Structure 1
Amino acid sequence: MAPTVCLSDGDDEDGPISFKRTASVKSEQEDDSEDEKPLAMRTTRLTSNASSTSRNSIKRRPGDSNTGTSSPLKKAKHSAIEREPKAADAHDNKIPLAPRLTSVKPSKTKPPAKNATKNKKKSPSSFTKDSQKGVEMKAKKTVRNSRLSKAMKVRQGSGSGKKWSTLEHNGVMFPPPYMPHGVKMLYNGQPVDLTPEQEEVATMFAVMRDTEYASKETFINNFFTDWRKILGKTHIIKKFELCDFTTIYEWHLREKENKKQMTTEEKKALRDEKGKREEKYLWAIVDGVKEKVGNFRVEPPGLFRGRGEHPKMGRLKRRIRPNDITINIGKGTPVPVCPIPGESWKEVKHDNTVTWLAFWNDPINQKDFKYVFLAASSSLKGQSDKEKYEKARKLKDHIDNIRVNYTKDFRSKDQVKKQIAVATYLVDKLALRAGNEKDEDEADTVGCCTLKVENVTCLPPNKLQFDFLGKDSIRYLNTVEVELPVYEAVKEFCAGKNKGDNVFAEIDTIKLNAHLKELMPGLTAKVFRTYNASVTLDAMLNKETEDGTLLQKISIYKRANKEVAIICNHQRAVSKSHDSQMAKLNEKIDELKVQRDGLKAELEKAKKGKRPGDDKDGSRKKKLTPEMLENKISGIEAKIEGMVITKNNTEESKTVALGTSKINYLDPRITVAWCKTHEIPINKIFSKTILEKFGWAMDVGPGFRF
């Protein structure tokens, strides 16, 4: 049996199959509010540094913000968009500054420029009651077909109080124990004996030979430091440069090939066996309702990768044991049986003010926690999502007063007021994250409140150039025109300081969010991101959607989705299959053009009464009327148009992560209403997973506006 090896904490496209499902669920639940945390953690802190930033889909402590996942570092260009003014659309003046950027500093990897001009919206096609009913029935059918349909109805909100009355579940599923393979690595050219524990860590490194991490100095140094602790001071292995992991790597390749050679029946048997092991952990009973559990698997041990140039990359993620895990279960309910004989849970709680089922400390960043929640499609998660978007909608009623308030303070003599005003402006207009202080061993990422002087360049007369590593070490590179008082204030904040000094020296995230809560109950910097993302999507869809084909309308949605992703700085690495995908599309388009040109030639002959030519095999072609040929030509031209649209969308969004904003920042009711208005099947926009997550939004009417 092959050993269990976890390769990645990074992008789940590159991670092992067993981990992809867990990662995807965590990312969908990344925006859970503070009331999801254990009660004790809402009143105490593990360390004096209470504002560390979250990474790798890990839930954070109270006071922290901006959790979630993003794609690996890829520098994306922020496109400028010019729109015609439209007096009738009251939403236009709500759009954040980011889509109206006047200057953008391009980065090394430059996505294709977006069309700068947009056509003015025509009147949308009429949406009859019959067609509306048909679209709504499709959406409802999708929801009904889900195994989780009875969990779709959102429970009544309960704020930070009681979330449930009864809760039953079976705990968490641990990875299987390591099975030694016995293949010896070489040290200084000689085979070396390793214990199973030592061999497991060596294998973790060996199988990463083809990745970029295997050549990174930080990764190698951290791996070898942690491995040496397991090897012990007396072990023969002393220097990394004398280690040769080739034999283990070759064993790994043979194992992969053996799996590929398995028959369909053998693969099915393995899947069935895996399904049986997981079945008991898949479901929880909440107030008598069967709900699906999201990330019930405990991560296997592995080497930490992180994002960007993370200082802890290569560190060993130790195996999580039952005594690391706290279980949350209803009172009077049987406590889940610990699946590992002779061991027991760290603690058992009965906290019905939270919705997590279990949690443990992250093995790499001990101040962080990893949680087991119900699946994104559960009613409790649906309630949380709806409350989040309703809070963002409420900001619409306060935004004008907030902007008047911070504009007034741009010239305040009180430095704290002045810095809060400018920071609020940047959070509002550029959708920047608030930012938190970092420990020395954490990735040097920043947000608005932690901007350093070296991250901001003042370009006369009133432009600011931002260049910093944001969340998950993703580069934010953007030049934007700002109001003159903001430009002058930032210039003043930076004057006389060293490059590593904070721009906003008088404030932090806690002060900023405390001020925001005074302007609107529950308002935080994160609410601004949700608001700006949703209001931008709503405005673009309602302004730019025209009568056209289904593909043309979907293309408009993707452009709007892309614009939001750019505002939120959601980037991803170019897919390894991108070039081959584009080549196949070009090949298909060329083939269709050849067919079209051939039919056009046949049409000319048919109009002149000439007989059709011969096929490639020499047989005579079937005689077709001019009308039949014209219909065939029209059909092929429609296919070509569709493929060209698909090709352009694929190329334009190759470095932009569209899914993150769709899952976490865009009110799904905007999309559902737009689909109903323009008679677009909802499954053309939302995947099955997202449909299950947002089942509560499917009944919204076509007239909904954010």
Structure 2
Amino acid sequence: MNGDSGDSTVQSSEPVRSVENEGSGEPLFKKPVENGLSNGVSSGSDKPKSSSSSDKHRSSSSHKSSHSDKHKSSSSSDKHRSSSSSDKHRSSSSSDKHRSSGSSDKHRSDKHKSSSSDKHRSSSSHKSSSHDKHRSSSSHKSGSGSSSDKHKSSSSSSSHKSSSSGSHKSSSGSSSDKHKSSSSSSHKSSSSSDRPKSSSSHKSSSSEKVKTEVKIEPVVKSEPVEVKEEAPDSDDDVPLGARAVEPPVRSPTRVKQEKRYKEDSEEEDDDDDTPLSARAPPPKKFKQEKVKKRKADSDSEDEYTPVKKKKEVKVKKEPMSPPVKKPSKTPTKTPTKSPTKAPTKGKKGKKQEEEGERWKWWEEDHQDDGTKWHFLEHKGVLFAPEYEPLPDHVEFKYNGKAMKLTPETEEVATFYGRMLDHDYTTKEVFNKNFMKDWRKVMTKEEKETITDLTKCDFRQILAHFKEQSEKRKAMSKEEKKVIKEQNAAIQEEYGFCTMDGHKEKIGNFRIEPPGLFRGRGDHPKMGMHKRRVLARDVIINCSKDAEVPAPPPGQKWKEIRHDNSVSWLASWTENIQNSTKYVMLNASSKLKGQKDWQKYETARKLHKCADKIRAQYQMDWKSKEMRIRQRAVAMYFIDKLALRAGNEKDEGESADTVGCCSLRVEHITLHEEKDGKDYVVEFDFLGKDSIRYNNSVPVEKRVYKNLMLFMDNKSPEDDLFDRLNTATLNKHLQGLMDGLTAKVFRTYNASKTLSEQLQLLTNEEDTVAAKLLSYNRANRAVAILCNHQRAAPKNFDKQMENMQVKIDDKKKAIKTCKKELKAVKAEYKATGSDKARNAYERKKKQQERLEEQLDKLNVALTDKDENKEIALGTSKLNYLDPRISIAWCKKWDVPVEKIYNKTQRDKFTWAMDMADEDFVF
């Protein structure tokens, strides 16, 4: 015992302990002392860290905690009994056991509880069963161990002494030196001859290590294998014997552990820890696991060489994933309590998981070689359902007589019958086109009979479909749920594709159903029959090594292509305008996101050279060539007024809409002076979607004179820019800047306007509601610039009345609340009671809430009135760099959800990740 004490003293003065590689005599590694305690690394290379006493105690050695149970069950007597042999045994088992016998009881009661003690018992089965072995191997160690073994033994015996002298508590609770020594004794005991013994403690030490880390410092580096491979609480980290609750299993444990130890001993001889599952209290298991993994990652990777190391390395490379995910991945083999507790983070954890699954393509290297994808597989398109004939009681009448139609003719008749209440059926062009196409599907007999549309009676057809609509609305929740599930199944099957190993959402996988063409504005083809699209009309695009989607039974695709230079998945040509329709990816997909990102980056690029381009076209106003002058004036309009370029269209194929290049003389009027402004140009024409553009703007004098020149000797129907078209304009723009088009000017000016308006209108002191009003006003300025108009809703006046009623009611409520507050305040001053004070505070808060609600209602009323004829959504989604809005939200603490809904946030995920509050367009 005296010798042991001496050794212990020497040990505690040693700042670094090195473990010698057996046979070579070279130290495997050195571990500096931390906080006056040695960082316990198994094989003695690291002394067990012992910063948190009780934990360290626990972790001081797996022997300690595992023996604690042993102490409890039978070993306690053994331990105390073995105080004499503790000199021998002190090297690891007995002394640790002695020390931890008291502390383990205490630990058990504090943290480990019964489950811990079970595990201790099981994990110490090795110890218990190998007690004799320990003794013998310890004695062997004592005799032939290295000096560090001596330190171990001595410190062990020293701690043993203190534990046997009745300072179990102190040894377990505070004595860090003892702790260190005792744990080092365990470690030391795991020197060459004691390897087998140490292996069991080795395993338990890994778990115990984690527990210790949770407290303050990791006790030991212990083998990352058991700790890192499985969840910290997994029984797989503990030898089979250690897992067994029944004593009989202890014997096999020893054998297995001895065998394993022979593999591990050369790496580490960590005896200090007990399996985490035996130690960690349930509430802290998740945290322990995280700490453990962090520890394991930071420790050297070559601490363990057995077969399991492959797994260990795999787990160790996971630190890049969010901490919440680690527990979810680790327990794949063993469902432990730790991962089940992970959801304590709730929605945050789920959100991180979803973010982890999201394809962050913007973080990858982008190669602009024209290749859109390398692998593409999908299920094709979903065709419109077959036509279901009308029931017998629904009749079509011609000239007052019921007439039975063939299915093809009846189907087209239902298209018209559904629209009887719509304005389209009152338009001559619509009716004429419908009758013409309807007769194309009629049989010879039907053509002879049905010659006048005014004699056709579709009222029963309309009534039938209205009835069907009402039935759908009146469906029970269960019926609606069934339909919802069916739609979800369809969405899952057809709504996603696999692109380059990622699951991407498809935008429009449904083929448009047959019907009557409506068009926008006064389209000359309105009322024509859109025929049903079949598989023979559809071209499928996928990769060569992908599974080709199956067409409907009895049909075949028009063509199968493998073109990775395009982003569409399927295409077909519609019969009205002979235009090609495409199945494309969803707006949240990589390809769509990349396109948006590049569009806004090009606009930002224009910002850098806009002044140079403007100087150039201003010089061209004085060019000797008429075509150059016309181009320069057109560029001025596109730049300053954000006009669209305008494409040439075949006459009679579409509505009479124009853009900048296709303006006619009749579309502008010149005023030398108007409303106190000089050189005013008044525009009045139908733009895209037949939206009227009516605007009077003052222009440069040189522009005004050029317009007079362009209009000279021309009739109203003549082109204003007769020597310019969209193709030549865009070709010129490309020469000025790569990727520059008329639309880039529009995008640039829209985003620039939003940025400037937000800086001008946003007030730091405003409430969130007031800031949102400022944002909408900035957005409205852009919408006006881009001429994004809309007709005021039909029930707009009614909506405004309802909002005004709410405001009036709120004002009355505030007035009443103020009176009540005054009375409560007087009562409080008179009595000074707690009850009166509480009543006063509640009433005061109520008044504040009512006033806040009134402010929101006033802001909403103003916003609604200002936006009644302005469409904010188009510019927000297509012309405004989302990073401007997101940066503004972050800077002024406005929730992004107030600006973008979920679908829009999915579309702009890349911008939300890229932009910070300092982003400048």
TM-score (norm: length of structure 1) = 0.76
The answer to whether structure 1 residue 537 and structure 2 residue 750 are counterparts is no
1:232, distance to aligned residue in structure 2 (A)? 4.5
SS at match of 1:271: helix
**C-alpha contact 1:146 1:692 (8 A) present in aligned 2:** no
The answer to whether structure 1 residue 347 and structure 2 residue 581 are counterparts is no
Q: Show the counterpart of 2:473.
A: 260
Matching residue within 580, 596, 599 for 1:385: 596
CA–CA distance in structure 1, aligned partners of residues 519 and 656 of structure 2: 12
**C-alpha contact 1:148 1:692 (8 A) present in aligned 2:** no
**Is the alpha carbon distance of 1:445 and 1:142 closer, same or farther for their aligned partners in structure 2, counting shifts above 3 Å?**
farther
Matching residue within 507, 521, 524 for 2:738: 521
**Is the alpha carbon distance of 1:233 and 1:486 closer, same or farther for their aligned partners in structure 2, counting shifts above 3 Å?**
farther
**C-alpha contact 1:148 1:291 (8 A) present in aligned 2:** no
The answer to whether structure 1 residue 695 and structure 2 residue 909 are counterparts is yes
Letter in 1 for 2:570: A
Matching residue within 441, 445, 450 for 2:657: 445
CA–CA distance in structure 1, aligned partners of residues 432 and 588 of structure 2: 42
Q: Show the counterpart of 1:77.
A: none
**C-alpha contact 1:142 1:691 (8 A) present in aligned 2:** no
CA–CA distance in structure 1, aligned partners of residues 758 and 770 of structure 2: 12
**Is the alpha carbon distance of 1:608 and 1:143 closer, same or farther for their aligned partners in structure 2, counting shifts above 3 Å?**
closer
**C-alpha contact 2:572 2:582 (8 A) present in aligned 1:** yes
Matching residue within 682, 698, 703 for 2:896: 682
The answer to whether structure 1 residue 549 and structure 2 residue 767 are counterparts is yes
Q: Which moved more, 1:398-407 or 1:209-218?
A: 209-218
Alignment of 1:270-309 (within 5 A): 270-309=483-522
Q: Render the CA deviation track for 1:201-233: whole Å, top value 9, x for unaligned.
A: 111111112221121111111111111222245
CA–CA distance in structure 1, aligned partners of residues 727 and 367 of structure 2: 25
**Is the alpha carbon distance of 1:149 and 1:640 closer, same or farther for their aligned partners in structure 2, counting shifts above 3 Å?**
farther
The answer to whether structure 1 residue 468 and structure 2 residue 688 are counterparts is no
The answer to whether structure 1 residue 172 and structure 2 residue 381 are counterparts is yes
1:165, distance to aligned residue in structure 2 (A)? 1.0
SS at match of 2:650: coil
Q: Show the counterpart of 2:670.
A: 458
Matching residue within 403, 418, 428 for 1:217: 428
**C-alpha contact 1:139 1:698 (8 A) present in aligned 2:** no
CA–CA distance in structure 2, aligned partners of residues 138 and 412 of structure 1: 68
1:582, distance to aligned residue in structure 2 (A)? 2.6
CA–CA distance in structure 2, aligned partners of residues 334 and 604 of structure 1: 77
CA–CA distance in structure 1, aligned partners of residues 349 and 706 of structure 2: 55
CA–CA distance in structure 1, aligned partners of residues 379 and 503 of structure 2: 13
**C-alpha contact 2:613 2:736 (8 A) present in aligned 1:** yes
Q: Show the counterpart of 1:498.
A: 715
SS at match of 1:467: strand
CA–CA distance in structure 2, aligned partners of residues 574 and 233 of structure 1: 47
Letter in 2 for 1:165: H
The answer to whether structure 1 residue 153 and structure 2 residue 361 are counterparts is yes
1:556, distance to aligned residue in structure 2 (A)? 0.7
Q: Which moved more, 1:315-324 or 1:574-583?
A: 574-583
1:254, distance to aligned residue in structure 2 (A)? 1.2
The answer to whether structure 1 residue 421 and structure 2 residue 639 are counterparts is no
CA–CA distance in structure 1, aligned partners of residues 605 and 548 of structure 2: 41
Q: Render the CA deviation track for 1:316-358: whole Å, top value 9, x for unaligned.
A: 11111112111111012221111x2221111111111111111
The answer to whether structure 1 residue 559 and structure 2 residue 767 are counterparts is no
Who wins on radius of gyration, i.e. which is larger? 2
Matching residue within 569, 572, 596 for 2:814: 596
**C-alpha contact 2:541 2:562 (8 A) present in aligned 1:** yes
Instruction: Give the percent of matched residue pairs that are identical in Structure 1 and Structure 2.
Output: 47
The answer to whether structure 1 residue 359 and structure 2 residue 577 are counterparts is no
1:625, distance to aligned residue in structure 2 (A)? 5.7
Aligned pair count reads 560
Q: Show the counterpart of 1:73.
A: none
SS at match of 1:666: coil
**Is the alpha carbon distance of 1:212 and 1:145 closer, same or farther for their aligned partners in structure 2, counting shifts above 3 Å?**
farther
Q: Show the counterpart of 1:100.
A: none
RMSD: 2.4
SS at match of 2:900: coil
CA–CA distance in structure 1, aligned partners of residues 837 and 467 of structure 2: 57
Matching residue within 610, 615, 626 for 1:399: 610
**Is the alpha carbon distance of 1:311 and 1:566 closer, same or farther for their aligned partners in structure 2, counting shifts above 3 Å?**
same
The answer to whether structure 1 residue 239 and structure 2 residue 452 are counterparts is yes
SS at match of 1:344: coil
User: Which protein, 1 or 2, shows the higher relative CO under an 8 Å CA cutoff with sep ≥ 6?
Assistant: 1
Q: Render the CA deviation track for 1:607-632: whole Å, top value 9, x for unaligned.
A: 666999xxxxxxxxx99866554443
CA–CA distance in structure 1, aligned partners of residues 462 and 570 of structure 2: 36
Letter in 2 for 1:377: S
CA–CA distance in structure 2, aligned partners of residues 265 and 147 of structure 1: 33
**C-alpha contact 1:162 1:352 (8 A) present in aligned 2:** yes
TM-score (norm: length of structure 2) = 0.59
Q: Show the counterpart of 1:373.
A: 584
CA–CA distance in structure 2, aligned partners of residues 624 and 579 of structure 1: 43
Q: Show the counterpart of 2:371.
A: 162
1:454, distance to aligned residue in structure 2 (A)? 0.7
Q: Render the CA deviation track for 1:59-94: whole Å, top value 9, x for unaligned.
A: xxxxxxxxxxxxxxxxxxxxxxxxxxxxxxxxxxxx
1:578, distance to aligned residue in structure 2 (A)? 3.3
**Is the alpha carbon distance of 1:290 and 1:331 closer, same or farther for their aligned partners in structure 2, counting shifts above 3 Å?**
same
**Is the alpha carbon distance of 1:411 and 1:536 closer, same or farther for their aligned partners in structure 2, counting shifts above 3 Å?**
same
**Is the alpha carbon distance of 1:152 and 1:197 closer, same or farther for their aligned partners in structure 2, counting shifts above 3 Å?**
farther
Greater share of residues in helix: 2
1:688, distance to aligned residue in structure 2 (A)? 0.3
Q: Which moved more, 1:581-590 or 1:626-635?
A: 626-635
Letter in 2 for 1:634: E
The answer to whether structure 1 residue 200 and structure 2 residue 411 are counterparts is yes
**Is the alpha carbon distance of 1:406 and 1:472 closer, same or farther for their aligned partners in structure 2, counting shifts above 3 Å?**
same
1:291, distance to aligned residue in structure 2 (A)? 0.9
**C-alpha contact 2:886 2:911 (8 A) present in aligned 1:** yes
Alignment of 1:330-345 (within 5 A): 330-338=543-551, 340-345=552-557
SS at match of 2:370: coil
Letter in 1 for 2:763: E
Q: Show the counterpart of 1:68.
A: none
**C-alpha contact 1:185 1:245 (8 A) present in aligned 2:** yes
Q: Render the CA deviation track for 1:470-498: whole Å, top value 9, x for unaligned.
A: 11111111111111111111121112111
1:417, distance to aligned residue in structure 2 (A)? 0.5
Q: Render the CA deviation track for 1:161-190: whole Å, top value 9, x for unaligned.
A: 112111111111111111111422111111
CA–CA distance in structure 2, aligned partners of residues 425 and 473 of structure 1: 23
CA–CA distance in structure 2, aligned partners of residues 599 and 585 of structure 1: 21
CA–CA distance in structure 2, aligned partners of residues 223 and 444 of structure 1: 21
1:300, distance to aligned residue in structure 2 (A)? 0.3
